[in-house]
Structure 1
Amino acid sequence: MRPSRLLPLIIATALFMENTDSTVIATSLPMIAQDIGEDPIALKLALTSYLVGLAIFIPISGWMADKFGSKTIFRAAIAVFMAGSLSCAAAGSLEGFVLARFVQGIGGAMMVPVGRLVLLRSVPRNEVVQALATLTIPALIGPIAGPPLGGFITTYFDWRWIFFINIPIGVLGIVLATIFVPEIKEEDTPPFDFLGFVLAGAGFALLMLGFASGGRHLIPPIISGACVIIGAISLVLFVRHARRTPHPVLQLGLLKLPTFRASVTGGSVFRIGIGAIPFLLPLMFQVGFGLTPLASGSLTFIAAVGALFMKTLAKRILEHVGFRRLLTINAIIGAAFLAANGFFTPTTPHWLIMIILFVGGCFRSLQFTSLNAIAYAEVSNRDMSSATSLSGVAQQLALSMGVALGAFALETASQLHGSPTIVAKDFGPAFWIVAAIASLSTFAFMRLPHDAGAEMSGHKALKRQQPATGLGDGIEAP
């Protein structure tokens, strides 16, 4: 097998570790809280600290790869993530656990974006869609196996063992990366934008902290609001700084590229709606319908199965439909299946719930694969690192906003219904609101050219020779 064919599977070790880690932790949080003497709600601060680590360090992941080499940073990031995992296993207090999760976030911020950067720079342009789909296939095993695996380990062994799952996977990833991943770096890397790093990192971190804690009672609402306000001010200052700096830590000028702009703006709106699913769906099944965590997990995992199934078909569908039509229509379909969750009741047959979740997972997976691919259709090889950093930050911010929006919609519905506690009928309006937000993304995709990304999708009806410009020179192997 050619090394370029192995790259997606090697880089997928990073995604697999990250996805498995997040799902097993969610399952084990109550037992972790009990063991260290904390309320389970307080332990969710550990989830937020991971997002903060991502928000601060994703913006510099591309620069680090350009300066020190993509292989070097990718391997170091896996090692940092493993160190954070071992620290989580050794934690004996809330403060120690939160700090360990922050270290994991630093590793995740470098690990996944740099791995995707290696793939984009090493795979021919007409193989990018299939490579990205292959990249996420092993990673989707995490959401499928994570909840039952975490529950089994926590029930029959000790919760600390869940963090040792990452160690053999990480060691394998480092060994394979050493052998097969190319060392790609830029000889004329621009100077590090320290002020931009501080402004962007603080802005994104405070925004994500405010969004992630909003509606979940992690910190007082006034502090959540202050985080959002200060974070927004910091980002406004960063935009002003970026316009005056020749080499900002995030190149906002990339948003002038139609395909990249559509992926970031339209993709963010779509992800805001979809980001509410991990918060709303398990809560509806357990709090609204009275299901056990095991029964809830036995329903929700099927969406990841649907996503895994669709990865095998994404390339062929894009060849027949093309990016513009697929993204525009599929945004509406994906939002419709999101809204369908709001019609579930405690008496809805489980087989029907699973069918809807499976099909919905298929369409969401197709949308995300297309969004991740078309983002780089016009990005030059030189700007690829900046594009992955900007796109990664936008994705994480949108997902955090989705959780906040879902929580706000749920609590508002509960107040309007006059219920002292959240009940099953409160979830319908919450799902319909986030679905409506997700559907608005279609307007961003409608503005794309008809032949947008034809070289990547292989859509023969519109594919034609692209003009030789500085924006489209190569994701070819060096």
Structure 2
Amino acid sequence: MDERTLKRSLPWVVATALFMEQLDATTVNTAVPAMAASLHVAPLSLKAVAASYILSLAVGIPVSGWVADRYGSRRVFALAIAVFTIASICCGLAQSARQMVAARILQGAGAARMTPVGRMTIVRAFEKSELLSAMNFVIIPALIGPLLGPTVGGLIVNFASWRVIFFVNVPVGILAQWLVHRYMPDYREEARRPFDWTGLLLFGSGTALLSWLLEIFGEHQIDAEAGVGLFIVSLALLVAYVLHARHTPYPLLRLSLFGTRTFRVSLIGGFITRLGVGGLPFLTPLLFQVGLGLPAWQSGLLMMPTAAAAMGMKFFSAPILKRFGYKCVLVANTVMIGATICLYALVTSESSYAFLTAIGLTLGFFNSLQFTSVNSMAYADIDPEDSSMAATMASSFQQISMSFGLAVGSLVAAWFLGGAPQSDRLAVTAALHHAYLTLGGLTILSSLAFWTLRRGDGANVSGTPAEPH
């Protein structure tokens, strides 16, 4: 396969697999009531279906870089898709809650290899100057999956069986396998490094426990003292990993990469920004359905302009970054995202569909530019031999930040709702308006994280002229 064909096809290979993963992860929650009725259990007891998937991801992602370096990117990526597809079939055939949880754990194990290995392959295959265009394709599934997932899931549950949600993955998985075997390069490290079992125990346990606490937040009644205690334990495990990694020749995650400014700002700045935007896929359907009284299908359609704008933005992000540079774009764009989130506080039952569509389009446009910029800048100054480690660390931070963002959105909305019943549309609408203003303000403040960038940072990716000395 010639280099031109590889570079034209590889982003589509990775995007196809990641879209399957992201869409599946967001459609399942919509089907929980139907699944519970079919499996003869209470809906809350199926919370383990989502939690088990999250836990499997939290433990599996940090291992993915080492596995890809040892066994090769093509083999590991193909195996990840196969495991995910087979696990999807098992989910669709499950006859009990226990079988469903076991299948979801297996599915999470496959998904944990997809994002970091896919990113690592993109970074190795493309020159720095070509990385931005390639990343435009890879970021799209992560943006539109959470937006289309509830709509697709709702339509499937309404017009077919909840089991179809999982069976849809089969043809997509087969297509992805064909693309992998035809176009995926096989990168691996010649020098074999030992596996950090202690690091996996500390970091895996810490992130799994923290992810579980965030996943059950607001949906289970958990004793406050037990919750605080478990939170402290998870932080203690993560701190112990930091101390361990500083004195280990081959750590699970090499924290020394944070010494690279563009990588550090990308991960930390992206993490803080997601605290504001991460709760929107939860809050916005709540505003449309409970606050405004719209049916689920209409609420889903109103989310689609955001996805459409996110896809359309890939044609403009490269010229914008080339013209203005990463620092200028990330500082200004983060403020614009926050301001757009605040616009939802103006939405009432009298708001026109044109106004709602305009907000969705604007938010999708700015979100797409934000995470395309953050994701591509992360690798601007990373050496090729460190790409798998960098991709693993970026994926781990993204997974945790998504959980944090959802928890923050839930907490803020619950705080403003107080003791008012969720059947009170006026109270729900007022609480959500305050939540949007709070999250928008938090997002605007997160722009400060990008001020530490320099004008020429990421110039080798964006093509921006470097800052003169």
> Which TM bucket (shorter chain)?
over 0.9
Distance in structure 2 (CA, Å) of the matches to 1:265 and 1:382: 22
- Secondary structure of the 1:2 match is helix
Which of 454, 462, 469 is matched with 1:457 structurally?
Answer: 462
Tell me if 1:47 matches 2:50. yes
Contact 1:44 1:218 in 2 (8 A): no
Contact 2:327 2:455 in 1 (8 A): yes
Question: Which residue is equivalent to 1:440?
Answer: 445
Distance in structure 2 (CA, Å) of the matches to 1:212 and 1:278: 15
Matches within 5 A, 1:350-429: 350-415=353-418, 419-421=420-422, 423-429=428-434
Shift of 1:309: 1.1
Matches within 5 A, 1:124-163: 124-137=127-140, 142=145, 146-163=149-166
Shift of 1:43: 2.9
- Secondary structure of the 2:420 match is coil
Q: Select between 36-45 and 3-12 the one with higher mean Cα deviation.
A: 36-45
Distance in structure 2 (CA, Å) of the matches to 1:113 and 1:223: 33
Distance in structure 1 (CA, Å) of the matches to 2:359 and 2:314: 18
Shift of 1:180: 1.5
Shift of 1:384: 1.0
Tell me if 1:328 matches 2:331. yes
Question: Which residue is equivalent to 2:212?
Answer: 209
Matches within 5 A, 1:185-204: 185-204=188-207
Shift of 1:290: 2.1
Letter of the structure 2 residue corresponding to residue 419 of structure 1: A
C-alpha distance after superposition, 1:326-373 (max 9, x if no partner): 011111111111122233222222221111011111101100000000
Distance in structure 2 (CA, Å) of the matches to 1:44 and 1:361: 29
Contact 2:269 2:450 in 1 (8 A): yes
> Structure 1 residues 44, 343: CA separation in 2 closer, same or farther (over 3 Å shift)?
farther
Contact 2:73 2:121 in 1 (8 A): yes
Matches within 5 A, 1:104-183: 104-137=107-140, 142=145, 146-183=149-186
> Structure 1 residues 392, 231: CA separation in 2 closer, same or farther (over 3 Å shift)?
same
Question: Which residue is equivalent to 2:103?
Answer: 100
Question: Which residue is equivalent to 1:470?
Answer: none
Question: Which residue is equivalent to 1:474?
Answer: none
Give the aligned CA root-mean-square deviation in angstroms: 2.0
Q: Select between 389-398 and 281-290 the one with higher mean Cα deviation.
A: 281-290
Shift of 1:398: 1.0
> Structure 1 residues 464, 36: CA separation in 2 closer, same or farther (over 3 Å shift)?
farther
> Structure 1 residues 402, 253: CA separation in 2 closer, same or farther (over 3 Å shift)?
same
Question: Which residue is equivalent to 2:304?
Answer: 301
Q: Report sequence identity in percent.
A: 38
Distance in structure 2 (CA, Å) of the matches to 1:222 and 1:326: 43
Tell me if 1:83 matches 2:123. no
Q: Select between 210-219 and 85-94 the one with higher mean Cα deviation.
A: 210-219
> Structure 1 residues 177, 91: CA separation in 2 closer, same or farther (over 3 Å shift)?
same
Contact 1:211 1:224 in 2 (8 A): no
Contact 2:155 2:297 in 1 (8 A): no
Tell me if 1:244 matches 2:282. no
Question: Which residue is equivalent to 1:5?
Answer: 8
Shift of 1:189: 2.4
Q: Select between 352-361 and 286-295 the one with higher mean Cα deviation.
A: 286-295
C-alpha distance after superposition, 1:17-40 (max 9, x if no partner): 012212332332221122112333
Matches within 5 A, 1:46-65: 46-65=49-68
Question: Which residue is equivalent to 2:435?
Answer: 430
Shift of 1:220: 5.0
Query: TM-score if structure 1 supplies the norm length?
Result: 0.92
Question: Which residue is equivalent to 1:15?
Answer: 18
Shift of 1:144: 6.1
Shift of 1:179: 2.0
- Secondary structure of the 2:28 match is helix
Distance in structure 2 (CA, Å) of the matches to 1:264 and 1:446: 14
Q: Select between 3-12 and 422-431 the one with higher mean Cα deviation.
A: 422-431
Q: Select between 198-207 and 101-110 the one with higher mean Cα deviation.
A: 101-110
Distance in structure 2 (CA, Å) of the matches to 1:39 and 1:428: 32
> Structure 1 residues 71, 13: CA separation in 2 closer, same or farther (over 3 Å shift)?
same
Distance in structure 2 (CA, Å) of the matches to 1:68 and 1:463: 41
Matches within 5 A, 1:212-231: 212-217=215-220, 221-231=224-234
Shift of 1:142: 4.5
C-alpha distance after superposition, 1:432-463 (max 9, x if no partner): 22222222221121111110010100113x37
Q: Select between 367-376 and 342-351 the one with higher mean Cα deviation.
A: 342-351
> Structure 1 residues 106, 89: CA separation in 2 closer, same or farther (over 3 Å shift)?
same
Question: Which residue is equivalent to 2:292?
Answer: 289
Shift of 1:136: 3.5
- Secondary structure of the 1:322 match is helix
> Structure 1 residues 307, 115: CA separation in 2 closer, same or farther (over 3 Å shift)?
same
Shift of 1:141: 6.0
> Structure 1 residues 299, 43: CA separation in 2 closer, same or farther (over 3 Å shift)?
farther
Q: Select between 356-365 and 438-447 the one with higher mean Cα deviation.
A: 438-447
Contact 2:16 2:176 in 1 (8 A): yes
- Secondary structure of the 1:191 match is coil
> Structure 1 residues 267, 220: CA separation in 2 closer, same or farther (over 3 Å shift)?
same
Contact 2:57 2:108 in 1 (8 A): yes
- Secondary structure of the 2:385 match is coil
Shift of 1:251: 0.7
Shift of 1:236: 0.7
> Structure 1 residues 315, 109: CA separation in 2 closer, same or farther (over 3 Å shift)?
same
C-alpha distance after superposition, 1:269-299 (max 9, x if no partner): 0011111111111122222222221121111
Letter of the structure 1 residue corresponding to residue 231 of structure 2: V
> Structure 1 residues 278, 373: CA separation in 2 closer, same or farther (over 3 Å shift)?
same
Shift of 1:375: 0.4
Q: How many residue pairs were aligned?
A: 462
Shift of 1:172: 1.6
Contact 1:209 1:227 in 2 (8 A): no
Query: TM-score if structure 2 supplies the norm length?
Result: 0.94
Which of 322, 331, 343 is matched with 2:346 structurally?
Answer: 343
Distance in structure 2 (CA, Å) of the matches to 1:270 and 1:196: 28
